Amino acid sequence: MGIIKLHTPNNKGFTTIEILVSSLVIAILSISLLSAFVSLNSTALFSKRKLIGTELATNQLEYLKSLPYDDLAVVGGAIPHASPLPNSKTVTIDNTNYEITTAINYIDDAFDGCASYATPELKSQICRNLPEPGGSPTDTNPADYKIVNVKASVNGKKVAELDTSIAARVAETDSNTGSLTVTVIDSSGNPVSGANVNVVNTNLNPDINVNDNTDINGVAIFYGLPPDSSNNYIATASKSDYSSLATISPAGSLAPNFPSQNIIVQQSSSVTLTIDPMGQYSLLSEVVDTGGSPLSGATIYVKGGQKKYSNSSDTSYYFDNVTPSDVRPTSDTNGNFVLENLTPSGYLFCGDSGGTNCAIGGTTYYLAAAIPYAGSNQFGPISIPSYSVASPPSPTFPFSGHSYYQKARLMLTTNANFPRIFTVTNGTALKSSGTHSFTIKGTNLPCDTSNPSLCGTTVVVKNSGGNMTASCTGTNSELQCNISLASANIEQSNFTITANGYTLDIPNGTGMLGGINVSP
């Protein structure tokens, strides 16, 4: 087959390959030119929008400067006001909608001293332009001036942002208000930035309802709050994909872990709130009898999350599906139920003693054991892990088209004398140690406080290397046990507990924890 030539008037031609290469070069150049044109056009469009957005933001700032100083407060902002200004508006120019948002906050400046803050670190975060002049007294009116932030956005993309400081026309005078500093952290003590903090007091007239977002240090501060000494200032911290938490007032002699606040004239109050990353699909539970058969129609009492009060004798939690209203889940025909949007923490079932508010119809069911499939606890409390999209917990448990972050088996019985396990301490054993000591807490566990041979409860650890019987002493509610690991293999080893003529048998090798984890 010969080479095909295209003839021209001067009798010269191009090969097919030359034509293809030329076409490819032209195509590449065309694409490059088109990309450059699109890029230039996009840049020109953004520059135009930036110019218009800057002008609109400047106009908004000039408008705000023309208003009385005391009127500079916006809807949903941190400054209380009876008639706050709108925090956003939309302006349409050349068929383009520009959203103009405004934020206004008080500033504490070190020029006349700083307010009284709980710690030096907090003072350095909030009081601007440190250090203070030598000999400066504590500033009793730390609302020194206001800072105004205006943003212009198109389709959610910021095109312009301007800030300005606005001071009152008169010198500072003694204030008849106080301030509140709210710090938001996670359970590891890390600051949570960008969290919304809402401060509410419905005991005043007019009501106080103000908002602000935490800075990079996890801090939001509210100035100019009217005084109230009855713990009526409620602060709530929340953030997308995080748990939320609100302060509460004392209940008699019970002291809250996260107390609602008093505001005292010319004084600063402070509170720290803890929130954590969380996901929607928290817990999948399977409800079975002590023989392992599913129980359908069981309503299950669950409580947990953050503990409400610091008193060790009180076990009130923020999550309680009986109090203040009964929203207990009911197991399906296969014995399953799910709980969603749980704050990462530990959760208890059927009350503190395993015998409250779990039932089928009018029959009370007692919790013999709650056994997790994941986490560090061999039994309860069942831990719900922190969740984030960037670092999801592992493993997850599929159910009804979703993956749940924790799974637990709840073993229930109608027999009030059946042995029950609540917690196991030191549930991880080192085989190299030869023996292992652990503590079982529960009820219906008769034993002698000093003589293992008189203990009425038998604890057997089931291991593929051989079942091992523990030597225990203790009381009806707490056993102190020792076990030899000479024959044990390295694996998760489950329990069999016999007491009062009944045997609680935790299945072995089914993916659950529920016993002693023997490690090398």
Are 177 and 263 in contact, with CB atoms under 8 Å apart? Answer: yes
- Average pLDDT for 155-172: 77
Range of the structural domain that residue 155 is part of: 64-108+143-166
The residues with which 383 forms a beta bridge, in sequence order, are 346
CB atoms within 10 A of CB 232: 17
List strand residue ranges (DSSP E) for 94-137, in order: 96-107
Confidence label for 132 from pLDDT (cuts 50, 70 and 90): confident
Name the domain count of the chain.
3
Q: State the pLDDT at residue 7.
A: 47
Confidence label for 6 from pLDDT (cuts 50, 70 and 90): very low
Residue 149: exposure state from Cβ atoms within 10 A (0-12, 13-18, ≥19)? middle
What CATH number did the domain enclosing 406 receive?
A: 2.60.40.10
What's the whole-model pTM score? 0.74
Tell me the per-residue pLDDT of 136-150, one tens digit each, with 9 for 90 and over. 777 777 888 888 899
Residues 203 and 266 in one domain: yes
Examine residue 149 and state whether it is found in any structural domain, yes or no. Answer: yes
What CATH number did the domain enclosing 191 receive?
A: 2.60.40
List strand residue ranges (DSSP E) for 308-401, in order: 317-320, 336-340, 346-349, 359-360, 363-364, 366-372, 382-383, 397-399
Residues 316 and 248 in one domain: no
Residue 354: exposure state from Cβ atoms within 10 A (0-12, 13-18, ≥19)? buried
Q: State the pLDDT at residue 12.
A: 54
Residues 406 and 457 in one domain: yes
Residues 306 and 198 in one domain: no
**β-strands 515-519, 492-499 pairing:** antiparallel
Residues 202 and 158 in one domain: no
First to last CA, the chain: 76
Query: Greatest CA span in the chain, whole angstroms?
Result: 118
Tokens encoding 471: 């030597």
Q: HSE (CB half, 13 Å, CA atoms) of 225?
A: 33
CB atoms within 10 A of CB 141: 18
Residues 327 and 270 in one domain: no
Q: State the pLDDT at residue 54.
A: 84
Last residue of a domain, one of 257, 274, 291: 274
Are 358 and 364 in contact, with CB atoms under 8 Å apart? Answer: yes
Examine residue 387 and state whether it is found in any structural domain, yes or no. Answer: yes
Residues 288 and 400 in one domain: yes
Measured CA to CA, the distance from residue 130 to residue 95 in angstroms comes to 47
Tell me the per-residue pLDDT of 230-267, one tens digit each, with 9 for 90 and over. 889 999 999 999 999 999 999 888 999 999 999 988 77
Tell me the per-residue pLDDT of 180-224, one tens digit each, with 9 for 90 and over. 999 999 998 999 999 999 999 999 998 999 999 999 889 999 988
Residues 157 and 202 in one domain: no
Residue 142: exposure state from Cβ atoms within 10 A (0-12, 13-18, ≥19)? buried
Share of the chain above pLDDT 90, in %: 46
Residues 270 and 338 in one domain: no
User: Three-class SS string for 265-300?
Assistant: CCCEEEEEEECCECCCEEEEEEEEECCCCECCCEEC
The verdict on whether omega for the bond into residue 419 sits within 30 degrees of 0, i.e. cis, is no
Residues 226 and 300 in one domain: no
Measured CA to CA, the distance from residue 508 to residue 515 in angstroms comes to 9
Examine residue 40 and state whether it is found in any structural domain, yes or no. Answer: no
- Average pLDDT for 405-422: 95
Tokens encoding 252: 């008699």
Tell me the per-residue pLDDT of 425-483, one tens digit each, with 9 for 90 and over. 888 888 888 888 899 999 999 999 988 888 999 999 888 888 889 899 999 999 999 98
Tell me the per-residue pLDDT of 292-332, one tens digit each, with 9 for 90 and over. 999 999 999 999 999 999 998 899 999 999 999 999 999 99
The residues with which 162 forms a beta bridge, in sequence order, are 150
Residues 261 and 301 in one domain: no
Tell me the per-residue pLDDT of 27-85, one tens digit each, with 9 for 90 and over. 676 676 666 666 656 677 778 888 888 888 888 887 887 788 888 899 988 888 888 99
- Average pLDDT for 5-15: 53
Q: Does the pLDDT of residue 347 top 80, yes or no?
A: yes
Residues 265 and 371 in one domain: no
Last residue of a domain, one of 214, 239, 274: 274
